[in-house]
Amino acid sequence: MKNIILIGFMGSGKTSVGIRLSYRLRRVLTDTDKKIERLYKMTISDIFERFGEEKFRDMETQCLEKLLEEPEGQIISVGGGLPMRSRNRELLKRLGTVVYLRVKARTVCTRLAADTSRPLLQGEDREEKVQSLLEKRSPVYESAAEIIVDVDEKTLDEIVDEILGNRIFSQGKEWVSR
Ligand code: S3P
């Protein structure tokens, strides 16, 4: 089976949906942020503080390149900003079926109201930051994805059912190896 890759804004539920998908399909779950944190033995916040965002983006690209060498059939959730690089979008396409979890700004703000782990959302005016980043990123997420699922107000199982019910999976296209 090809990899299934979850993309989407911070707070769209990539990690939770990834866990549920990996449980339902009995597939290994990989998270690019966690892989980077393990490799550098630092949190994402510390990486941003010490090396800056550009260096973190390079780490994301390297992480995708490594994943291409790993066995297929994984569920892969990626950091919210990763699809913004065109090189990363190319790599995502080669890696597997890309699923975009589309979320509304107000859902993100509710879910991440008390979050301190996302460097890009710290400080004043969190709602404006979410709004403007989401506006900039939405068309890119949409262009990078083969499947788009609106996640607001849906349960994890409803989201997973919608992903797996997509014709890409029902026609068995996910079984074609790259
Ligand atoms: C980021 C999203 C985060 C993490 C980093 C940057 C982004 O991952 O990679 O804080 O630019 O949107 P999540 O989407 O898992 O929160």
CATH number at residue 41: 3.40.50.300
DSSP 57-121: HHHHHHHHHHHTTS-S--EEE--TTGGGSHHHHHHHHHHEEEEEEE--HHHHHHHTTT--S-GGG
Residue 112 domain flag: yes
Domain assignment of residue 8, given as a range: 3-169
Domain count for the chain: 1
Q: Residue 14 carries which side chain, given as an amino acid letter? A: K
In the reported structure, the alpha carbon of residue 45 is separated from the centroid of ligand 1 by a whole-number distance in angstroms of 10
Quick: pLDDT tens for 72-97.
Answer: 999 999 999 999 999 999 999 999 99
Residue 38 domain flag: yes
Does ligand 1 have an atom closer than 6 angstroms to the CB of 18?
no
CA nearest neighbour of 98 among 174, 154, 176: 174
CA-angle at 80, arms to 79 and 85, nearest 5°: 90
Does ligand 1 have an atom closer than 6 angstroms to the CB of 81?
yes
Does ligand 1 have an atom closer than 6 angstroms to the CB of 140?
no
In the reported structure, the alpha carbon of residue 171 is separated from the centroid of ligand 1 by a whole-number distance in angstroms of 32
Res 178: pLDDT: 43
Residue 174 domain flag: no
Does ligand 1 have an atom closer than 6 angstroms to the CB of 105?
no
Res 171: pLDDT: 72
**pTM score:** 0.95
Residue 176 domain flag: no
CA nearest neighbour of 20 among 166, 158, 175: 158
Query: What pLDDT band is residue 59 in, cutting at 50, 70 and 90?
Result: very high
